[in-house]
Amino acid sequence: MQSRFDKQDRLYQAVRLIRPIHLNIQRTLEVQLAGTGISVAQRDVMEVLYTSGPLTVPTATRMLGMKRQFVQRTMSDLIVLGMVERRRDSRHSRAYICRLTDKGSRLFQTVHEREMALLRQRLGDINITEIVVALRVLARVAGAYEAAAADTINTTPMPQSAAAKEVVPA
């Protein structure tokens, strides 16, 4: 039987909170983005470009932890909207660099200011020590699950094709 203060049980309780937190953040962002013309996924791509500067799609994909095709499609949609521009990478002749346009930068700043206002309003009473501890724990949890996901991907057997499953007569 686990005690009330079992460390692993408490950690599991924290991990269980992540899914509803993520869903509620998503819902809140959808409401905050109403009328902006961008989706939550587009906002996420814009954020990584805003905070990191010009990036290739593969680099943005790694930073976001999303599938490359999804990030590519999202980036293409943002280009059509005039939020992102794409240029040849001077270091790699076949690669492209994506960066926010002035319009995209202004929109992201507006969206981010709304998010920060909500944090101040709803969570302004949390002190810096609590925030530092939460960031440290969440970073460890994120790293552990990222490593576990990579292990799963690297050790999951690939499905065999129908031809490979056929028994070859001796």
Q: Give yes or no for a contact between 48 and 99, defined as CB atoms under 8 angstroms apart.
A: no
Beta bridge partners of 55: 98
Residue range 136-146, pLDDT digits in tens: 999 999 999 98
pTM attached to this predicted model: 0.81
Query: pLDDT tens digits for 29-60?
Result: 999 999 999 999 999 999 999 999 999 999 99
| DSSP designation for 55 | B
Going by C-alpha positions, the residue among 7, 38, 161 that lies closest to residue 106 is 38
Q: Residue 1, Cα to own-chain centre: how many angstroms?
A: 37
Fold that domain 7-123 belongs to in CATH: Arc Repressor Mutant, subunit A (1.10.10)
Residue-wise pLDDT tens digits, 62-112: 999 899 999 999 999 999 999 999 998 888 778 899 999 999 999 999 999
Tokens encoding 38: 């961008």
What is the residue extent of each domain of the chain? Answer: 7-123, 125-154
SS (H, E, C) 62-128: HHHCCCHHHHHHHHHHHHHCCCEEEEEECCEEEEEEEEECHHHHHHHHHHHHHHHHHHHHHHCCCCH
What phi, psi does 72 have (nearest 5°)?
Answer: -60, -45
Distance CA 91, CA 93 (A): 6
Question: Which SS3 state, helix, strand or coil, does residue 34 take?
Answer: coil
- Taken in order 95, 101, 105, 108, the sign of the CA dihedral is negative
